[in-house]
Structure formats: structure tokens, C-alpha cells
């Protein structure tokens, strides 16, 4: 049985989609069958981060309405073995569809090692739909004050939804900015209130790869490449040192 992980943040723009795509690619490339699901209905962009925007035909709404089977709706990545993608619908799902999603996540857990659910920003219905079937959450926060407070609130919501394992990914870390703000990683961890799964530096390659619609794992990155690889390895149960920033 695979693990379903919701990637969430509360605050928008912390890097959930970029992290989902990168972690999913590294998991797949180390041999884990991995399904990345865009849960950001209407505002989807995980397809672009994975370089798949021209290849997607169906979305999870098509499965929930019975139009296609889960196997038919999923797109296999053309160059990254073991990586699969499921798009979000172009319209916001109704209550019934949102409720049906947890059962669908359960189905996917039977055929994938990892199911990564790229949550929309906020703690509204889209977030709850994404979290409903998840057995683990990764909260993506930056060192930004608003991101920390929203991250803390998100952790509380995830606990209320009875998600047992909640981990923190601190993204876009810039030592220069942290020094200026007199902030350190411990402050971020203490404020958000979840155990660390990894730290990813501010790295221009992440945005470049996203804009060019090339998966980061194929584009390359100076700092973020190893850091995302480390997060994926930890999810697979390996021990990896945090490294320097
Ligand atoms: N480590 C990083 N270094 C530099 N840029 C990054 C990093 N992580 C993400 N970005 C960039 O930040 C922007 C926002 O990222 P992304 O779209 O993944 O955030 P999000 O949390 O999914 O946003 P939303 O809440 O709108 O869904 C993108 O341009 C992305 O390329
Ligand atoms: Mg996003």
C-alpha cells in the first residue's frame, strides 16, 4: 500500500507546485511508482511544472463522474520512468465530487508507491478535498512572516483532520535574507510546529525550469537539485544529512 501525501501551505506561492513536481520526479527516478495529482482545480499548473501541459486529456473530475477509469485518466510521463500525472478539473468540483476524492486516493494508494497531492493555497474546500484521503502532509513554508503564521494554522487544521504525520519543508531559503531578518531555521520550525523533512534554497533554476516547462530533474539546479533529492530519499526511508546553506 502506497503513501498519499498532501503538499500544502496555507499561504499562496510558497512553492507547493514546484516542490510536488520536483519531489515526485526524484521519487520516480529512484524507482518508486509515483503519481502527482494537481488538486488546484480551476487554477492548475502542476502539468506545466512537469512539462506535460500538451499531453493531458482527462482530469480527476472525469473519473469521479464515471466518464473514464482511473487508468485512462492518468498520463505517464514520456521521459521520466515511474512518474504519472493526474490533472485537476478546469472548474471547481461540487461537494459530491470533493467527497468522492478520498476514495479515489485510496484506490491510487493500491497501485502507486507515492501519491502526491498538490493542494491549492488556503484551508478551504480545495485543501480539505486534497487532505481527506492523505496519510501524511508536507507543509511548505518560506521564512516569510505571513507564511509562518499560515503554516502554523495549516498544521492545526491538518491535526484536526487527523493526519498523523505532518512534516515541514522550508523553501526558498536565502542565508542573506535570514540574517537580515535575524531569523533562523529553528524559528521557522518552532513557529510552524512540525518536524522538518527538508530545506530548499532560493534557486533561480526552479523558476527557470518552471517557465520553460522542463522538469527540474532534467533542467538541473545548483542547490535545489540535491535538496529535493534529499527530501525524496527521506520519504523513501533513507537517512540524509541536512547539509549547509
Ligand atoms: N526554491 C525556489 N527557488 C526559487 N524559486 C522558487 C523556489 N520554489 C518555488 N519557486 C518559484 O516560486 C513561484 C511560486 O511557486 P509555486 O507555483 O510552486 O507556488 P505554489 O505554492 O504552488 O503557489 P499557489 O499557492 O499559487 O499554488 C514559481 O515561480 C516557482 O518557480
Ligand atoms: Mg500551486
With respect to residue 244, please indicate whether it lies within any of the assigned structural domains: no
Tell me how far the alpha carbon of residue 133 lies from the centroid of ligand 1, in angstroms: 24
Residue 211 CA, ligand 2 centroid: distance in Å? 14
Q: How many domains does the chain have?
A: 1
* Nearest CA residue ID for atom 25, ligand 1: 12
The pLDDT of residue 245 is 64
12 CA: nearest ligand 1 atom? 25
Residues measured by CB to lie within 5 Å of ligand 2, the ion: 16-17
Task: Using pLDDT thresholds of 50, 70 and 90, give the confidence band for residue 233.
Answer: very high
Look at residue 242 and tell me if it is in a domain. Answer: no
CA 189/CA 185 separation, integer angstroms = 6
Residue 93 has a pLDDT of 73
Strands 165-173 vs 136-141: parallel, antiparallel or unpaired:
parallel
On whether residue 243 sits in a domain, the answer given is: no
- The Å distance, Cα 162 to ligand 2 centre, comes to 23
Residue 147 CA: which ligand is closest? 1
Residue 171 CB less than 6 A away from ligand 1: yes
Residue 64: CA count within 13 A, CB half-sphere: 21
Tell whether the model's pLDDT for residue 242 goes beyond 90: no
Task: Tell me which DSSP letter residue 119 carries.
Answer: P
Q: Does the CB atom of residue 210 touch ligand 1 within 6 A? A: yes
CA of 141 to the centre of ligand 2 (A): 13
Backbone angles phi, psi at 199, to 5 degrees: -130, 130
Alpha helices in the chain (DSSP H): 16-29, 46-49, 60-64, 70-73, 95-111, 125-132, 145-160, 175-180, 185-192, 204-212, 216-219, 224-235
244 — pLDDT class (breaks 50, 70, 90): low
Closest residue CA from atom 16 of ligand 1: 15
State the average pLDDT over residues 198-213. 97
Q: For position 230, which CATH number holds?
A: 3.40.50.300
| Residue numbers of the domain that contains 63 | 3-235
In the structure, what pLDDT confidence band is assigned to residue 71 with cuts at 50, 70 and 90? very high
User: What's the rounded mean pLDDT across residues 235-243?
Assistant: 91
pLDDT in tens, 86-122: 999 988 777 777 778 999 999 999 999 999 999 999 9
Residue 58 lies in a domain: yes
User: Is the CB–ligand 1 distance for residue 173 below 6 Å?
Assistant: no
Domain assignment present for 169: yes
13 alpha carbon – ligand 1 mean position (Å): 5
d(CA 71, CA 2): 16
Of the chain, the percentage scoring pLDDT greater than 70 comes to 99
> Which ligand 1 atom is at minimum distance from the Cα of 172?
1
Ligand 2 centre to CA of 166 (Å) is 19
Does ligand 1 lie within 6 Å of residue 15's CB atom? yes
Q: Is the pLDDT of residue 12 over 90?
A: yes
Q: Is residue 53 domain-resident?
A: yes
Taking only the tens place, the pLDDT of each residue in 137-162 is: 999 999 899 999 999 999 999 999 99
Compute the mean pLDDT over every residue in the chain, rounded to the nearest whole number. 94
Amino acid at each position: 500500500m502506497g503513501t498519499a501525501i498532501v503538499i500544502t501551505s496555507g499561504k499562496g506561492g510558497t512553492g507547493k507546485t514546484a516542490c510536488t513536481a520536483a519531489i515526485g520526479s526524484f521519487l520516480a527516478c529512484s524507482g518508486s511508482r509515483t503519481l502527482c495529482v494537481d488538486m488546484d482545480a480551476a487554477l492548475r499548473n502542476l502539468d506545466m511544472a512537469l512539462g506535460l501541459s500538451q499531453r493531458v486529456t482527462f482530469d480527476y473530475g472525469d473519473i469521479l463522474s464515471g466518464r473514464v477509469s482511473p487508468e485512462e485518466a492518468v498520463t505517464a510521463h514520456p521521459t521520466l520512468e515511474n512518474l504519472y500525472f493526474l490533472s485537476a478539473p478546469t472548474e471547481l468540483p461540487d461537494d459530491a465530487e470533493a467527497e468522492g476524492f478520498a476514495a479515489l486516493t485510496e484506490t491510487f494508494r493500491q497501485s502507486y508507491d507515492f501519491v502526491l497531492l498538490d493542494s491549492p493555497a488556503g484551508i478551504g474546500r480545495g485543501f480539505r478535498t486534497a487532505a481527506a484521503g492523505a496519510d501524511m502532509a508536507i507543509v511548505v513554508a518560506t521564512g516569510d512572516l505571513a507564511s509562518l503564521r499560515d503554516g502554523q494554522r495549516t498544521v492545526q487544521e491538518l491535526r484536526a483532520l487527523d493526519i498523523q504525520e505532518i512534516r515541514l519543508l522550508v523553501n526558498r531559503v536565502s542565508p542573506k535574507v535570514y540574517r537580515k531578518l535575524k531569523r533562523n531555521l529553528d524559528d521557522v520550525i518552532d513557529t510552524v510546529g512540525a518536524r522538518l523533512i527538508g530545506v530548499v534554497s532560493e534557486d533561480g533554476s526552479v523558476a527557470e525550469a518552471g517557465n520553460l516547462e522542463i522538469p527540474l530533474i532534467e533542467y538541473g539546479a545548483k542547490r535545489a537539485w540535491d535538496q529535493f533529492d534529499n527530501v525524496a530519499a527521506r520519504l523513501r526511508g533513507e537517512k540524509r544529512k541536512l547539509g549547509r546553506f
